[in-house]
Amino acid sequence: MPGLGTSFGRGGATTFQQDLQNSDCILIMGSNMAEQHPVGFQWVIEAKERGAKVIHVDPRYTRTSAMADLHVPIRGGTDIAFLGGLARYILENDRDFREYVRHYTNAHVIIKDGYQGPEAQPDDVGAAQASEAGSRAGGKPTGLFSGWQADEQLYRIDTWGYAGTSGETAGGGKVQAADVSGEQAHGAHGVNLDRGEPPQVDFDLEHPNCVFQILRRHFARYTPEMVADVCGVPEEQFVRVAEWLCDNSGRERTSAFVYAVGWTQHTHGVQNIRAASIVQLLLGNIGRPGGGIMALRGHANIQGSTDIPTLYNILPGYIPMPHPQQTPTLATFVEKNGPKTGAWGSLDTYMTSLLKAWFGEAATAENDFCFNHLPRIDGDHSIYPTMVRMIEGQCKGLFAVGQNPVVGSANARLQREALSSLEWLVVRDLAEIETASFWYDSPEIEAGETSPEQIGTEIFFLPAASHTEKDGTFTNTQRLLQWHHKAVESPEDCRSELHFMYHLGKRIKARVEGSTDPIDRPILDVTWDYPTQGPDDEPDAEAVLQEIGGRHADGSYVGKYQELAADGSTACGSWIHAGIYNDGENQTARKKPHTEQNWIAPEWGWAWPSNRHILYNRASADPEGNPWSERKRYVWWSAEEGKWQSVGDDVDFPPTKAPDYVPEEDAEGMAAMRGTNPFILHPDGLGWLYAPTGLVDGPLPTHYEPHESPVDNALYGQRANPTRQEFDREDNPYHPPGSDVFPFVLSTYRLTEHHTAGGMSRTLPYLAELQPELFVEVSPELAQERGLRHADWATIVTARTAIEARVMVTDRVRPMTIGSHPPRTVHQVGLPYHWGRNGIAKGDAANELVSMVLDLNVHIAEYKVLTCDVRPGRRPRGKDLTAYVEGYRRRAGVLHEARHPGD
Amino acid sequence: MGYSLPTTAWPSSYGEHARARKGFFTDTSVCIGCKACEVACKEWNDVPARNGAQPAYFTGESYDNTIDLGADTWRHVAFVEQRKALDVDDGMGMSLAEAAALEGMARSEGLATYQDGEGMRWLMASDVCKHCTHAACLEVCPTGSLFRTEFGTVVVQEDICNGCGYCVPACPFGVLDQRQDDGRVWKCTLCYDRLKDDKEPACAQACPTNSIQYGDLDELRERADERLQQLTDAGLEQARLYGADDQDGVGGFGAFFLLLDEPEAYHLPPDPVDTTRDLGGIYRATAAAAVALVAGLTAAVLGGRR
């Protein structure tokens, strides 16, 4: 989650759901919280009962809108225009929390002279940059930051840095720029500062190149009128939102933001979150009770799957994956990836402890703690490029574990093409999902384009145990780990993931036993000896948790991450989880009822890091260490005791560091953090209004249209995010911008009644009957325009393919009026994506329609906005379908060539 | 305790075994339509899903695909989409005070949410057997399968029900229903088995927003009065309690509701009446008519002899 990581230091929600009850105003945007997080939504209801205002900004009126005080319909994909509008409103009306902004954010830091924002006119920019964009734009500013390399389609970011620092963070080629993950993983890297101090500052916030002034210039044109033109939100409605937020922020009051995949699944998703972070920093709402940004993760353990990652480019605890050339030794790795100051200043201890956990006795100071046993990343190995590599024959096998790509991933047809190109495929799931059955049942087989005889992939379907059938943890959306105990034996030969991975590892180790080939050395050295129990040799999940939580050389458990050492005397599988087995107790299994402890409930499960619930909570006190107000008291400095106090949470700050502490010359690590700086993961301890490094598409969020959009960018010459990751392939065709063959905006989403790609819900009778069929939500106006009849069938078409769904004509979807000269209407169409060909509730998969086009920062697809056509009636069958879609492609002039520069 | 709602059989027939009358207060103002109550009910009570021979289908009734209470649906969440034309900007023929009041109402109800000034509202409400104080179903049951429990609730005993179906038309809410392949009548038991173990019913336990509240009926009534007052004070003038009046046609519900609109908006009868309430009168009238008829016939016959 680099949006939050670059802004605040850690890639996780800054607060927890229970804290929403303390909010005075809650803005839910990019999230349908009542439907997707109904249990957590009780805290929004609680806040509302206490008098909070609840605002829902969303293209559709959903179950969340129904509970809100105000629903603001917005044109899909224009969130940055809206949030930038909020930032401008706050700045131009002096509604920011100035004392907070001055001391706790980098507003006062002066940026390099060479920095130029997207407001530059085409003439101001070097000839090599975006001249084409400028000429196409008719006098609009370029929309590009300084450093744009039109030929390479990437930014060199050395002009984005703090004035007086060296700019050594420029990436190499485009692929490397995305993959040198030191810059990407959490934004903490690449800025090395003496004593943690930015070299040039202006605490009056008046220097023209200080972040505060850059911000004002950057958002100057994001006026309420512009918001109305771009987003379709009437001015008075926008101003009401802005006023509610401003009125409910400051010393006495706090506002919270809630988002989910409605913000992330865009070609500018990370910048959506950056925009929200800027607004919340300006309003002084981070690190305070009732404030913060609540990132709602997609389902039960998504947060856990990035903390101890299933991602290719980070190691546990957001440590970057080593680079093949730049980091030949542990020392150079630490040098390259750990700034000297802040909590990342101790990267050597985190990394050494991780290597000790993995390689045990074999890891010694002499062999660099087996650092060179770690694989290196040489390119972009995220999921979509990997699927393409399968088609190209470069990737031969795949484990799909709890993943149903032919329903859940963009461009489902391409996903099947990739799976068909494999030599082998292992699918582990609760039921036979479409990813396991595509070889005998798929739209291509239905259309006669392929047959089981033509698919050579050897497929192994292995039934999995469900969470009630095994021990383990869930890490929920707020970084809270909760232990679940095995309640029932799994049926027949269903096994847990832990069982599968452990025994697979055993067999691989047995295979290479006795080998002297150096390539087998890491496998021989890796520790792989968890105790097992029962007739099926189920590994002990608590033993794994103990390894994650860490031990000292004498076998005692690590209490907190500050105990980790770089000399090999500690082993810890994930530094952010250090202390999870503190005092020999499984901290995640604590289940003291909320009625028996304070409202923070610190004895219910365990939140990383160090059971901290509100992060950066030093910011809940003023620079002198006093609470900003009694009403919002959370953490404060006690001069008598010489330490920080709190209402019951862990303090996210060195416990005895006084507010007036100033680092000495040459101070490093946490010693280089001033007593006033709450964002201790950042090398300067500040909240980053401006992100000098960490993102590939700019230090500030900028409004771009989605890759497929019916309109031009009203603000800039650059239409869509210039760094977006495209796949210009015949099997992944895109719609031309503004195509009237695909005139409507389509958004995919989920329903309460089903679970993601349906593997856990379409097969269950009680859930299947609640939403038995795929439907498409359209406004009465669009229904009339296209002759769609309620509850009848409709066909939804993109250049990828066509699918059919039942028609839901509803006032909850409204056409948007945008632009002013002249105004035009944009119709939006809603499509839940849970359905597939298997299970009880069957239907076409919405992701058949979606193309692969990604946010380069995180390689996430733009599921939330694409263009489409909608027609009454069922879709054609068999070869007729192929011809039908081909007709659309021809009429739309769909091209497969690389995009034009400046588009 | 301001309320005591004695039914015919409770508490008197239970003597010392009688327990406080239990019920539901369903506060629809905080229902988010998640349907966890429907699923939890089915899971706990082993109620069959509608698949197989008569599979569920897209009904088009907003997000409601279960449509009504029945033998296989003991909790049912209704979804009511309302779009109210509140021409706030059109001040013609309206006093400033009226316009301001309308604007205020629209804001407080979150109605004035669309750019064209038209308000949208999506009401959600979890319906259930009302466990009436005067329960006609129970009165007409010839086998004694339907009975009043020690908690004052109304329960069908599946091993006694013979499927005669008399209770089906007796219910003023259409709750009682015979299962297709079985013939017997099935409905909410207020989780009688859980109550016996001092556990709350499955639906109430699953409800994430506390829209379904379970407890002693007296206490729930008081809580509901307070809640209604709170909402009325906040300007939700259409909010009302439904089934919390012991003078109504069924003597009050054991499971009552807070609604945000008229009962009809939720497809609920506005003035339900215990269908056996007038039976005494009907019998008396029938008897009187019979007497009159006999008297008339006798008179006619006797007169004819003249």
Looking at residue A747, which CATH number applies to its domain? 2.40.40.20
Cβ–Cβ contact A772 with B under 8 A: yes
- Which of B37, B41, B76, B115 best tests the A interface by mutation, with the highest count of A CBs <10 A? B115
Whether A496 maps to a domain, the answer reads: no
Query: Are A822 and A739 found together in one domain?
Result: yes
How many Cβ atoms from other residues are within 10 Å of residue A903's Cβ?
A: 15
β-bridge mates for residue A797, sequence order: A802, A869
Cβ–Cβ contact B223 with A under 8 A: no
Burial classification of residue A430, based on how many CB atoms lie within 10 Å of its CB (0-12 exposed, 13-18 middle, 19 or more buried): middle
Of B30, B33, B49, the CB nearest to A45: B30
Of A42, A45, A766, the CB nearest to B43: A766
Contacts of A808 in chain B (CB under 8 A): 60
- CA A339, A301, A591 angle in degrees (round to 5)? 100
Residue type at B113 in one-letter notation: T
- Terminal alpha carbon distance of chain A: 27
Cα A434 to Cα A302, A496, A770, A882, B108: the distances in Å are 21, 21, 21, 21, 47
Q: What is the mean pLDDT of residues B153-179?
A: 96
Separation between Cα atoms, residue A448 and residue A435, nearest integer Å = 19
Contacting residues for B181 by C-beta, under 8 A, at least 6 apart: none
Largest CA distance in chain B: 87
Contacts of A765 in chain B (CB under 8 A): 48-49, 51
Please judge whether B60 and A808 are an interchain contact, meaning their C-beta atoms are less than 8 angstroms apart.
yes
Cβ–Cβ contact A791 with B under 8 A: yes
Position B117 pLDDT exceeds 80: no
Contacting residues for A367 by C-beta, under 8 A, at least 6 apart: none
Contacts of A773 in chain B (CB under 8 A): 57-58
Q: Where does B12-275 sit in CATH, by number?
A: 3.30.70.20
Helical segments of B83-216, H only: 96-108, 136-140, 167-170, 192-196, 202-206
Q: pLDDT band for position B275 (50/70/90)? A: confident
Q: What is the pLDDT of residue A24?
A: 98
Separation between Cα atoms, residue A897 and residue A521, nearest integer Å = 45
Cβ–Cβ contact B66 with A under 8 A: yes
Contacts of A39 in chain B (CB under 8 A): 208
Query: What tokens does A688 get?
Result: 């980053």
CA A895 to chain centre: 31
Closest-CA residue to A318 (of A330, A303, A329)? A303
In chain A, positions 793-812, which contact chain B (CB-CB < 8 Å)?
Answer: 806, 808, 810-812
Query: Are A853 and A805 found together in one domain?
Result: yes
Query: Are A780 and A669 found together in one domain?
Result: no
Whether A881 maps to a domain, the answer reads: yes
Please judge whether A769 and B51 are an interchain contact, meaning their C-beta atoms are less than 8 angstroms apart.
yes
Query: Are A100 and A232 found together in one domain?
Result: yes
Q: How many CB pairs under 8 A join A and B?
A: 117
Cβ–Cβ contact A66 with B under 8 A: yes
Whether A708 maps to a domain, the answer reads: no
Please judge whether B65 and A65 are an interchain contact, meaning their C-beta atoms are less than 8 angstroms apart.
no
Q: pLDDT band for position B105 (50/70/90)? A: low
Position B1 pLDDT exceeds 70: no
Contacts of A42 in chain B (CB under 8 A): 208-210
Contacts of A63 in chain B (CB under 8 A): 32-34, 63, 122, 124
- Chain B nearest C-alpha distance from A809 (Å): 9
In chain B, positions 82-141, which contact chain A (CB-CB < 8 Å)?
Answer: 83, 107, 110, 113-115, 120-124
Q: pLDDT band for position B3 (50/70/90)? A: low
Please judge whether A66 and B58 are an interchain contact, meaning their C-beta atoms are less than 8 angstroms apart.
no
Residues spanned by the domain of A106: 1-110+205-298+613-703
Of B32, B81, B210, the CB nearest to A38: B32
Average pLDDT, chain A: 93
Whether A259 maps to a domain, the answer reads: yes
Backbone angles phi, psi at A85, to 5 degrees: -60, -40
Please judge whether B113 and A812 are an interchain contact, meaning their C-beta atoms are less than 8 angstroms apart.
no
- Which of B45, B54, B63, B116 best tests the A interface by mutation, with the highest count of A CBs <10 A? B63
Say which DSSP state A647 is in: S
Contacts of A69 in chain B (CB under 8 A): 107, 110
- Chain A nearest C-alpha distance from B131 (Å): 25
CATH code of the domain in which A60 resides:
3.40.228.10
ipTM of the complex: 0.91
Cα A2 to Cα A295, A320, A343, A475, B153: the distances in Å are 12, 12, 17, 19, 55
Which chain B residue has its CA at the smallest distance from A839's CA? B51
Query: Are A85 and A228 found together in one domain?
Result: yes
Of B32, B42, B50, the CB nearest to A63: B32
Which chain A residue has its CA at the smallest distance from B35's CA? A753
β-bridge mates for residue A804, sequence order: A795
Quick check: A98 and A203 in contact, CB under 8 A? no
Cβ–Cβ contact B229 with A under 8 A: no
Which chain B residue has its CA at the smallest distance from A61's CA? B120
Query: Are A738 and A653 found together in one domain?
Result: no
Cβ–Cβ contact B236 with A under 8 A: no
Cβ–Cβ contact A753 with B under 8 A: yes
Backbone angles phi, psi at B132, to 5 degrees: -60, 150
Q: What is the pLDDT of residue B97?
A: 56
Please judge whether A772 and B81 are an interchain contact, meaning their C-beta atoms are less than 8 angstroms apart.
no
Question: What percentage of chain B carries pLDDT values higher than 70?
Answer: 86
Q: Which residues of chain A have pLDDT under 50?
A: 127-135, 168-188, 898-902
Q: Decide the pairing of beta strands A866-872 and A824-826.
A: unpaired
Beta strands in A222-292 (DSSP E): 255-259
CA A130 to chain centre: 29
Query: Are A654 and A698 found together in one domain?
Result: yes
Position B87 pLDDT exceeds 80: no
DSSP string over A499-523? HHHHHHHHHHHHHHTT---GGGHHH
Q: Decide the pairing of beta strands B22-27 and B212-216.
A: antiparallel
- Which of B54, B120, B123 best tests the A interface by mutation, with the highest count of A CBs <10 A? B120
Position B115 pLDDT exceeds 90: no
Please judge whether A771 and B63 are an interchain contact, meaning their C-beta atoms are less than 8 angstroms apart.
yes
Contacting residues for A693 by C-beta, under 8 A, at least 6 apart: A6, A157, A160, A161, A169, A183, A187, A189, A190, A191
Which chain B residue has its CA at the smallest distance from A772's CA? B57
Query: Are A859 and A752 found together in one domain?
Result: yes
Query: Are A884 and A781 found together in one domain?
Result: yes
Of A64, A73, A791, the CB nearest to B60: A791
Please judge whether B209 and A810 are an interchain contact, meaning their C-beta atoms are less than 8 angstroms apart.
no
- Which of B43, B72, B209 best tests the A interface by mutation, with the highest count of A CBs <10 A? B209
Burial classification of residue A357, based on how many CB atoms lie within 10 Å of its CB (0-12 exposed, 13-18 middle, 19 or more buried): buried
pLDDT in tens, A778-815: 999 999 999 999 999 999 999 999 999 999 999 999 99
Please judge whether A65 and B122 are an interchain contact, meaning their C-beta atoms are less than 8 angstroms apart.
yes
Mapping DSSP to helix (H, G, I), strand (E, B) and coil, where does residue A858 land? coil
Whether A557 maps to a domain, the answer reads: no
Contacts of B114 in chain A (CB under 8 A): 73, 814
Cβ–Cβ contact A237 with B under 8 A: yes
Query: Are A213 and A71 found together in one domain?
Result: yes
Of A765, A790, A806, the CB nearest to B49: A765
Whether A256 maps to a domain, the answer reads: yes
Q: Decide the pairing of beta strands A860-861 and B212-216.
A: unpaired
Query: Are A732 and A841 found together in one domain?
Result: yes
Contacts of B31 in chain A (CB under 8 A): none
Average pLDDT, chain B: 87
- Chain A nearest C-alpha distance from B139 (Å): 33
Closest-CA residue to A242 (of A101, A84, A99, A368)? A84
Please judge whether B122 and A63 are an interchain contact, meaning their C-beta atoms are less than 8 angstroms apart.
yes
Mapping DSSP to helix (H, G, I), strand (E, B) and coil, where does residue A345 land? helix
Q: How many domains does chain A have?
A: 2
Residue type at A458 in one-letter notation: E
Integer-rounded Cα radius of gyration of chain A: 27
Cα B197 to Cα A113, B37, B193, B200: the distances in Å are 74, 20, 7, 9
Query: What tokens does A101 get?
Result: 């902004």
Separation between Cα atoms, residue B110 and residue B104, nearest integer Å = 10
